[in-house]
Amino acid sequence: MRALVVRRYGPPEVLELQQVADAQAKAGEVLIRVKAVGVNFADLLQRMGIYPGVPKPPFIPGLEIAGVVERTVEGARPGEGEPLKPGDAVMALTQFNAYAEWAAVPAAQVYRLPAGMTFADGAAIPVNYLTAYHSMFTMGNLRPGDRILIHGAAGGVGIAAVQLARAKGLVIFGTAGPAKQEYLRKIGVDHAIDYEKSDFVQIVRKFAPEGIEMVMDPIGGKSFGRSYKCLGPAGRLVVYGFSAASGPDGKRSWLRGLTALLQTPRFHPLKLMGQSVSVIGVNLGKIQSRSGLLRMELDELFQLYSAGKIKPVIGKTFPLEQGAAAHQYIHERKNIGKVLLSVR
């Protein structure tokens, strides 16, 4: 089968299209013929060798796919419902091995696509929408009228969070670059913030002097500390990424990473208690063992999708062989919404 392989840790050019051994499903797994692959910032960190648990090269990166069940192996049952069968249209969380024509995935991490959902939407939902939903409503317990600041609000997780916030009646602050401000207002961000020209802490405090209920921050470094300053009593800071360690060139820089790490604040438990705030870490890869929880969250997302309240925004789709270009596109912050790879 064809697959994009990380030959060595490094910039996007280390991704190489190769012929590799066909994926083989083991007991309890499902073999999926891949139609679309979601590209996430986590994939870029995998390629650079700075993602938690990343394998040593050579390896196939990627975390989410949509496609068609080719065959199942004995014991391959989803968490609930009818057994999967060949021909079923599905999405799946893969834990690496997504950038390929075939993928073998534990059945508990495979979910049937609702009627009418395209493979593109199926590949765009799992990582982005589960990250946002789990952060905001499972861990964050946000209620209608609560206020949320979403960093990178024009990106994949950002747009998912904006759509969910609108569906649940939240007041939305969102940051993005100057070229994306009009887009933020178009999708329903109440307070669009140009992070290049404005101090987001000042703007949040202008409209909410007592502080807000949640900030979602995938940036890291000094951004964590500034986001923390936006919180009021019962506020939650959600950290789910560390993009400050990566530059627009896509190269791994120990200096950049070390600088961001040194700028990361330490949150003392007594201080958190005294201010009655929370810091929540979200890593979707660590939640995959909680298949029942993820299935419950996806069921809610499917209902919102069917009701027209959420829908992935596909910014750009690249063919599988242009995976390096897809990674560079995200490094340069050009994307609005989700970037996909199509597999033919």
How does pLDDT run across 137-177, given as a tens digit for each residue? 999 999 999 999 999 999 999 999 999 999 999 999 999 99
Domain count, the chain: 2
Distance CA 72, CA 55 (A): 26
On whether both 139 and 278 belong to a single domain, the answer is: yes
AA letter at 152: G
Secondary element (H or E) of residue 203: helix 200-207
Q: Each residue of 80-94: pLDDT tens digit?
A: 567 889 999 999 999
On whether both 34 and 159 belong to a single domain, the answer is: no
CATH of the domain at 192: 3.40.50.720
On whether both 142 and 248 belong to a single domain, the answer is: yes
On whether both 136 and 264 belong to a single domain, the answer is: yes
Residue 223 inside a domain? The answer is yes
Q: What tokens appear for 102 in the block? A: 């075939």
Residue 298 inside a domain? The answer is no
On whether both 182 and 216 belong to a single domain, the answer is: yes
The confidence band for 334, taking pLDDT boundaries of 50, 70 and 90, is confident
> What is each CA distance from 263 to 11, 97, 226, 257, 269, in whole angstroms?
24, 33, 11, 10, 19
CATH of the domain at 58: 3.90.180.10
This prediction's pTM: 0.93
Comparing 34 with 286, the larger pLDDT belongs to 34
Distance CA 191, CA 312 (A): 21
Range of the domain at 119: 2-125+312-342
Nearest to 311 by CA among 41, 129, 94, 90: 129
